[in-house]
Structure formats: structure tokens, C-alpha cells
Amino acid sequence: MTTDTAVEAPYEILTPQTVPAFLRSRPALAERVDPDDLRSVREVGDGNLNLVFVLADGAGRGLVLKQALPYVRLVGPSWQLTPDRARHEAEALRLHGRLATDLVPQLYDYDPDRYVLAIEDLSDHRVWRTALNDGLRHDGAAEAMGRFVGRIAFGTSVLGMDAGERAATLAAAVNPELCLITEDLVFTEPYVDAGRNSVLPANERDAAELAADRTMVDAMGQAKWAFMTRAEALLHGDLHTGSVMVRAADGEEGPADSVKAFDSEFAFYGPVAFDLGALWGNYVIAAARATALGDDERATWALGLCTRTWDAFEAEFRGAWADERADPRMFGDDLREHLLATWRSEAWLFGAAKMTRRIVGLAKTTDIETLPPPLREGAARGVLRTARRWVRERVVDSTPRRAGDIAGEVLAATATRG
């Protein structure tokens, strides 16, 4: 086990040996887990940024400690990054937890001096991306994420939040360093290589065609503008299948009885469609894997998740509009329809951005990367070409069903075989 602690930090970097002392120093955790009877301290921080420890005591109680390092773990100490991102995650968990209690892990405690969050243990869940890669289905997960986005879209916007509270929340949620990562890695570097891009040699031509596609680049400029200027709601900010945990009601697979969005350190006030598009783009990536492996039925199912997420989001938003909206004198139903149409179209745009960065840019996905190279070639090509089709055709028919149909056509046409 390595914890990448070589970089100097003005605060204690936790290790399995120092975790018990940390627990003793936090009264809020005294009844959550026994620091004098810890049976397991597992470091599972295999993500891009943080240390993560899963704890269990002799009574079977557990929790998760997540500590923000002062650099990007994926790259190492050479890429310094503020650990204050942990505060953003804590604040987002508190607010999102109030609005969507059943759809985020519970936050037990936050230590602002050591940037450590203590969070509900979800060891009985699986990362949704991993489950999808293993060919498992958890029906209801896509709908749960649609409801999650709907609740936070309404509840943290001018429609559902007191004006004073919203202003204070927006000010506290300004997250420039994490937003800059998104601005660079998602919207810019797939088209203007900063030295962090990579593809298989067989996909180099695909990456070059992407960067030379002026329609695509112009569309990404529009998407980046919206991301940087439209403070509509307190978004999760990095909502993909790798930041969702799922649990089946019966056994390893089946209808999901628990779905949780986690890792919200990228939370910021931005355009609602960004979270939706992130999910849609990752559904296409899951479908690309299934197509590459010859499972066309599963690919069709994965692409259908776009519609499931959208329908649940729309139903949640419409319900809140009818019952809870502020100032119905001015916020009439025409505005509701305008917002929904705008977000549905923009989800294509943000989905395209998310797809391309995961193929060409830094921090790729296991859906594609664990395929054998001959299969990976076609899957990567299909995802990139789907993104280019989406930015062109969203103005013709912006329904999520059509988005899935386009992806299905492209993925089938570009699939390669070993």
C-alpha cells in the first residue's frame, strides 16, 4: 500500500497507523466506530485526487475517512492542488443531503484543519462503473440519478431556495481550482493538446480529426462559456458512473434498493445540464464497451439509460415546480418549458464534451481502457464520432431517445474485432 506522502503538507497526512488517534480527536465520531477496537483500516484511495480509508471495528460498525491531499494524486506532487476542495465536498454533501437524503452518503464529520471528511460506509455497495463493466444491471439507478439532479437543480436554484441563503451558498461554493481542471481537461485539451492527451496509435487519426473539426471545437467553446458563466444550481460537478454507488435488493444484481452519488468535491454553481450530460456521456461509454464485446442487447439497454435519467429528472423538476416554486407570479409555466428544452439540448453538448475527454484526455475510464487494444480501437473511435454527431444533431431532435439511437448507429458501425 502506498499513500504518496512524500510531498510536504502543512497538516498531518493520515496513515493506517495514525487513524485511531485521529478518531479519538473527533468527538463526533466517538459513537460511530471504536478507535480502540479497529479490526480493519483499508486504504482504498484508487481515485485521482484523495486518500480514502475504510474502517471497521469489532462490533461491525464502520465509516469512511477521505482526506484531500495538497496535490493531484493521479499525477503526483508536481501538480499542486488546494485541499480546500474537501470543504466544498462537505458543504455539498450537507446541502445535497438535505434535498436528496436517500441519494448521497451521510456526512458524519468534517475536520477543516486536516481536510478530512468522515462519511457513511458504503462497503455493501459497488461502484456503478465497475458493476457495468462486469455486465451487471441495477435497474433504477439511472432513474435515481435523474431524481438526484432534479432535486438539486430545483432546490439550490432561485426557484427553490431563499434568496439570501442562495447568495451565501453561491459565494461559498466558488471553486476556482477544481473548475479550472474541468475547463482545461473537459473543454479545451482534447482539442488543444497540453501534453496530457494520449490514444492508441490506431486512434491517432481519430484524435486529429476531432481536433480539426471546427463545428466540434466551436460547440465546445459554447459549452465552456455556459460552464463558466451560468450559475443555475449547486451541481455535483463530476457526476459519472464512477461517482455513483449501487446496491441490489437481492444479491449481486437486480433492482437497486440503494443508489448514492459520492465524490462531490467538484461541486460548484453551474449549468444544470452539465450533470445530466456527464451521465449521458458515460452511458455511451458503457454501451461502447458492450458493443465491442459483441453484446448488442446490453448496449441498447445502456443507451436507454439516457431516457430513463431524463424522464426521472423531468418528473422530479415538474413536481417541485408545481408544489414548491418561489414567486409563481413571475416564474410561469412558459419558463418551465423553456428551461427543460434548454437543458435537454445542452445535455447533448455536455455529454459530447465528457465523452471526448475520457477517450483523448487525461483520466480515462476502465470501460474502454480494460478492453484488448483491437477492441478498444473501435470503441474509442465510436465514442469520438458519437460526440461529433451529437453536437451537430441536437438542434434537430433533442430527445434522449434520439441521442441513444445515434450512439447505437455509430458504435455498431465503428466496432472492431480482435
Segments making up each domain of the chain, as ranges: 19-119, 126-414
The predicted-structure confidence for 54-107, as pLDDT tens digits, reads as follows 999 999 999 999 999 888 766 667 778 889 999 999 999 999 999 999 999 999
pLDDT at 128 over 50: yes
Nearest C-alpha neighbor of 106 from the set 116, 114, 115, 96: 96
What integer pLDDT is reported at residue 211 of this predicted model? 98
pLDDT at 395 over 90: yes
What does the chain come to in residues?
418
The predicted-structure confidence for 326-382, as pLDDT tens digits, reads as follows 999 999 999 999 999 999 999 999 999 999 999 999 999 999 999 999 999 999 999
The kind and range of the H/E element at 54 are strand 50-57
Q: Which amino acid is it at 109?
A: D
Three cell numbers at 236?
455535483
Nearest C-alpha neighbor of 3 from the set 66, 78, 80: 66
What integer pLDDT is reported at residue 78 of this predicted model? 74
What integer pLDDT is reported at residue 5 of this predicted model? 43
Nearest C-alpha neighbor of 190 from the set 404, 411, 366, 352: 352
Q: Which CATH superfamily is domain 19-119 in?
A: Phosphorylase Kinase; domain 1 (3.30.200.20)
327 vs 149, 150, 322, 343, CA distance in Å? 22, 19, 12, 21
What integer pLDDT is reported at residue 203 of this predicted model? 98
How far, in Å, CA of 359 to CA of 365, rounded? 8
With beta carbons less than 8 A apart as the criterion, state whether 350 and 383 touch: no
Cell 456503478 sits on residue: 128
Least confidently predicted of 58-72, 205-219, 256-270, 358-372: 58-72
How far, in Å, CA of 280 to CA of 270, rounded? 17
Outline where 26-81 has alpha helix (H): none
How far, in Å, CA of 247 to CA of 298, rounded? 19
Cα diameter, the chain: 63
Q: What are phi and psi of 54, to 5 degrees?
A: -105, 125
Three cell numbers at 240?
459519472
**Which pTM value belongs to this model?**
0.95
pLDDT at 200 over 50: yes
Span 281-290, mean pLDDT?
A: 98
The kind and range of the H/E element at 221 are helix 214-229
Nearest C-alpha neighbor of 150 from the set 261, 26, 288, 285: 261
What integer pLDDT is reported at residue 73 of this predicted model? 66
pLDDT at 264 over 50: yes
What integer pLDDT is reported at residue 251 of this predicted model? 80
pLDDT at 220 over 50: yes
How far, in Å, CA of 278 to CA of 349, rounded? 10
Q: What is the DSSP string of 344-397?
A: HHHHHHHHHHHHHHHHHSSS--HHHHTS-HHHHHHHHHHHHHHHHHHHHHTTT-
Q: What are phi and psi of 119, to 5 degrees?
A: -130, 155
The predicted-structure confidence for 291-302, as pLDDT tens digits, reads as follows 999 999 999 999
Q: DSSP character for 4? A: -
pLDDT at 122 over 80: yes
Span 270-276, mean pLDDT?
A: 98
CATH architecture entry for 126-414: Alpha-Beta Complex (3.90)
Outline where 260-332 has alpha helix (H): 273-292, 296-324
List CB contacts of 393: < 8 A, sequence separation 6 or more. Answer: 348, 402, 406
CA angle in degrees (0–180, nearest 5) for 137-358-352:
85
Three cell numbers at 231?
450559475
CA-CA-CA-CA dihedral for 224, 226, 227, 232, to nearest 10: 180
Mean pLDDT, the chain, rounded, equals 94
How far, in Å, CA of 82 to CA of 50, rounded? 12
Cell 476502465 sits on residue: 366
How far, in Å, CA of 366 to CA of 59, rounded? 35
What integer pLDDT is reported at residue 2 of this predicted model? 40
